[in-house]
């Protein structure tokens, strides 16, 4: 089936903001197929607790692919307790080299309250600048908005919510139905 036979899945804006000892990951709830909104209440931000660790993940891209990656990340976290960055690097290596995983189309924002990371299928594990990470179709809008708000008196959650509202106003593949998870102080 060619890309023209089946319109691509679009949607999702995920943002991670670290400020004042807290990290907030927020994601919208819209899933679109071509020009049609299929669902407006999807949960794209999840809390994982492998081996008693507290980790928050947000994902953009194919939901089934993202769940596969989250399961793999949980296994990596169980194998390397308390070492989020190492677990993410191991996941990224597998994702880049495993023939099955290479076909997965998703990106992750992952945090344990200390580290804030973006994990991609290209083998990247990135620590974002300015304590803000954003992915998905409206990610650049949310990133720009959060960068403009980060030095205000707003909390990490307030910055994330305001940035997501701006992204939802601009990106047709993003809505204002948010899932927000906070980790840290």
Q: Give the H/E segment covering residue 137.
A: none
Catalytic site residue from 4, 12, 80, 174? 12
The per-residue b/e assignment along 12-34, b for 16 or more CB within 10 angstroms, e otherwise, is bbbbbbbbeebbbbbbbbbbbee
CA distance 182 to 121: 25
CA distance 185 to 180: 16
Q: Angle at CA 105, nearest 5°, toward 73 and 182?
A: 50
Write the CB contacts of 58 (distance below 8 Å, at least 6 apart in sequence).
14, 15, 16, 25, 26, 27, 44, 45, 46, 108, 109, 135
25: phi then psi, degrees, rounded to nearest 5:
-115, 125
41 is catalytic: no
Which active-site residues does the annotation give? 12
């Amino acid at each position: 089936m060619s890309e023209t036979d089946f319109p691509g899945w679009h949607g999702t804006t995920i943002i991670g903001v670290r400020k004042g000892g807290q990290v907030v990951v927020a994601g919208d709830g819209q899933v679109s197929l071509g020009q049609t909104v299929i669902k407006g209440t999807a949960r794209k931000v999840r809390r994982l607790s492998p081996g008693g660790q507290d980790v928050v993940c947000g994902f953009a891209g194919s939901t089934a692919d993202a769940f596969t990656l989250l399961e793999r990340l949980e296994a990596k976290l169980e194998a390397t307790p308390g070492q989020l960055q190492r677990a993410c690097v191991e996941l990224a290596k597998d994702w880049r080299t495993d023939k099955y995983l290479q076909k997965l189309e998703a990106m992750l924002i992952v945090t344990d309250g200390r580290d804030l990371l973006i994990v991609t299928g290209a083998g990247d594990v990135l620590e974002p600048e300015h304590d803000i990470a954003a992915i998905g179709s409206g990610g650049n809008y949310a990133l720009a908005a959060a960068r403009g708000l980060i030095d205000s008196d707003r909390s990490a959650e307030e910055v994330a919510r305001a940035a997501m509202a701006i992204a939802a106003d601009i990106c047709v593949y993003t809505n204002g139905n948010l899932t927000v998870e906070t980790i840290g102080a």
